[in-house]
Structure 1
Amino acid sequence: MAQITLSAEIRPEQAGQRLDQTLAELFPDYSRSRLKGCIEEERVRLNQEVCTLPRTRVYGGEQVEISLETKDENRFEAEDIPLDIVYEDEHILVINKPKNLVVHPGAGNPKGTLLNALLHYYPPIAEVPRAGIVHRLDKDTTGLMVVAKTIPAQTKLVRELQKRKITREYEAVASGIMTKGGKVEEAMARHPTKRTQMAVHPMGKPAVTHYRIMERFRNYTRLRLRLETGRTHQIRVHMAHIAHPLLGDQTYGGRPRPPKNASEQFMSVLRSFQRQALHAVMLRLEHPISGESMEWHAPLPQDFLELIEALKADYLLHKEELDY
């Protein structure tokens, strides 16, 4: 952990406010919940006196000091891993993540992650919590991610994500023939027995996924999806919940389901697609510092394109046999 000290004088117009509200106004680069935690952990002083109650009312004119701990991401190793950078400025990076890349080191993945790559590409990012990673994609999900290069940018992006003001759209291939688009609005939580998985659960956190049909094939449907919330494995769990798991998603039931009389060539493509068919194709947000509206698009990766072509070829070969 790295230690930093924040200090300021409480303004006269803030008189009568709660301490946690006042600190959030004085130090907008940090979330109110984080500053509230500092108060409760006895790391906030008013006129040199430790204050432990977030609801404490301020009078104006007090000197406030906060002893803040920041995680030092230098405990992880910087690694020269190529990054497909779609956009970069002094505050943010937008990356097109490839398949087979874990985002953050964890049990079983201490190296070779996106975080390790970021530490090598831009060493100062070690001073930003989680090396600026604002949201994650699963190991084998490809596509767009935004990364903050500074604490102010990260704080603003996290807030915007929580307020559902960042738009993320995906393309996917789901098992089964779907007839119309719709919305899945089912709360999610950690699976009660399979701790590496998520599940729909009435006592979980709210989760909303919108989807529409792009193309229909034999036994499969190509979808465009938009996340309203961002729970772990959300699209994968929601689509499995409505009995249309993503093709290739063996964790949530998307094992290959070959249609009748499928060619060996088509079967080979299905068997070789060893991941969930999910790609983060569009990202739209307001720049955390300038406020400018920005949007990026990432083309489908080669393995996804080959999968779509194989599905189309199989569909056209058997089109006369279909009743939809």
Structure 2
Amino acid sequence: MITRIVTPSESGKRLHRYVRNLMPNYPLGQIYKMIEQGKVKVNGKRKKDTYELAAGDELTIHMEDEAYKEASIGAADKKVKYAGVKTDIDVVYEDAELLVVNKPAGLLTHPDQTEQKDTMITRVHAYLHRKGELDSRMFLPATANRLDRNTSGLVLVGKTAGMLHRLNQAIQKRELDKYYVTVVEGRLAAGGTVTAKLVRDESGNRTRVVKEPDAAPGSEERSDAPVEKDATTHYRPLQAGRGYTLVEIELISGRTHQIRTHMQSIGHPLLGDIKYGGKPFGDVRHQLLHAWKIALDDGRTFTAPLPPLFRSVLRRTGIDFSLPT
């Protein structure tokens, strides 16, 4: 018989997924069967496979030790080391389940082929490790939203499996409101909405607006055509300066490079965004984009102040504006 106590960070995981994490080398169908037959119990009682575990729950698996050892081959059992990983993060809000951080421009949200160690999420892990809050090798806190390397602002981190699931569901159902500020080229006189579909070119790391072709009679869609995705961007000017406009953007969908592509498509590329038609501005040669506000579906709202570089550009373009807090 195998006994395990659910840790705080594991809370919110569904029973069948938790057991699957414990025994990745065991057939999923057999896991469902064990739960149905009462060979997996929580606090001594039978539960449905969809039961959401809580911190402190005692999980009992009625199985021989040798069989469990074989079934658990491949389970996450390597201890992650955080020596040398930076822990300095700008915490906007934190409780037992949720962490909201203000990511600086220039820092990746997640590791990629160019950087594995110093990213937003590795700093978060090191920060929580130092606090003694990484209590499970089966679950690591993760981000619910991602910002590009040169985009600054709010990133949501689910510290528990349950919170991460709820955040992801809210984003998928578009129950979470995300607001950005940026500086675009030209004078934007009025607000509006862009609904142009987008396609990705992964090889070139670019997104482009889909141009609606005139459909020829009898023509069929090519099977190898890039996937077109719906995208909606609301924008409204906050203040105009010398050849530039400070704009607030509400992101309805969350496609890669959506804001940059949509604003370029209406003739107002982002200041410094060379990849999408913008011109360099002094030493600024990347998009000036800041995720400044997020409103959760439970009524909580978080904001992040403008970074120093953003404020400097506003002064140089003659824009005098302060975000509400």
TM-score, normalized by length of structure 2? Answer: 0.68
Query: In structure 1, what is the equivalent of residue 291 of structure 2?
Result: 280
Indicate the residue corresponding to 1:43 in structure 2.
28
Distance 2:12 2:289 in 1: 36
For 2:240 and 2:112, the matched residues in 1 are separated by: 38
More helix, by proportion: 1
**Is the CA contact (8 Å cut-off) linking 2:12 and 2:160 kept in structure 1?**
no
Matched, 1:176 2:176: no
Compared CA separation, residues 271 and 131, structure 1 to 2 (3 A):
same
1:113-124 aligned at under 5 Å gives the runs 113-123=119-129, 124=134
Cα displacement string for residues 202-223 of structure 1 (whole angstroms, at most 9, x for unaligned residues)? 7422111100011122321110
Which residue number corresponds to residue 239 of structure 1?
263
Q: Measure how far apart 1:278 and its partner are.
A: 0.7
SS of the counterpart of 1:122?
A: helix
Distance in 2 (CA, whole Å) between partners of 1:28 and 1:276 is 37
CA RMSD of aligned residues (A): 3.7
Residue of structure 1 in register with 2:299 after alignment: 293
- Confirm whether residue 198 of structure 1 aligns to residue 207 of structure 2: yes
Alignment CA distance shift 1:49-1:109 (3 Å): same
Letter of the 2:305 partner, please give it: P
Does structure 1 residue 306 correspond to structure 2 residue 306?
A: no
Residues 51-200 of structure 1 correspond to what in structure 2 (within 5 A)?
77=82, 79-123=85-129, 124=134, 127=137, 131-191=141-201, 194=204, 196-200=205-209
Counterpart position of 1:218: 242
Cα deviation code 1:94-117 (max 9, x no counterpart): 111111111100111112101110
Equivalenced residue count is: 259
Contact 2:144 2:167 in 1 (8 A): yes
Following superposition, the deviation at residue 131 of structure 1 comes to: 3.4
Q: For the residues of structure 2 that align with 1:72 and 1:278, how far apart are their CA atoms?
A: 39
Please report how far the alpha carbon of residue 293 of structure 1 lies from its aligned counterpart in structure 2 after TM superposition.
Answer: 1.6
1:244-263 pair list within 5 angstroms: 244-256=268-280
Deviation readout 1:151-192 (Å, 9 max, x if unpaired): 000001000000001111011001122221101112222127
SS in 2 for 1:276: coil
AA aligned opposite 2:163: A
Segment drifting more, 151-160 vs 115-124: 115-124
Q: CA 1:75–1:236 in structure 2 vs 1: closer, same or farther (change >3 Å)?
A: farther
| Structure with more contact order per residue of length (Cα contacts < 8 Å, sep ≥ 6) | 2
For 1:29 and 1:62, how far apart are their aligned partners in 2? 13
Query: Percent identity, aligned pairs only?
Result: 31
SS at match of 1:206: coil
Question: Where does the alignment leave 5 or more consecutive residues of structure 2 unmatched?
Answer: 5-10, 37-45, 50-60, 62-70, 213-226, 321-325
Partners of 1:241 and 1:87 in 2: CA distance: 36
Q: Is the 8 A contact 1:166 1:285 kept in 2?
A: yes
The answer to whether the Cα contact below 8 Å between 1:184 and 1:209 also exists between their aligned partners in 2 is: yes
Q: Is the 8 A contact 1:74 1:126 kept in 2?
A: no
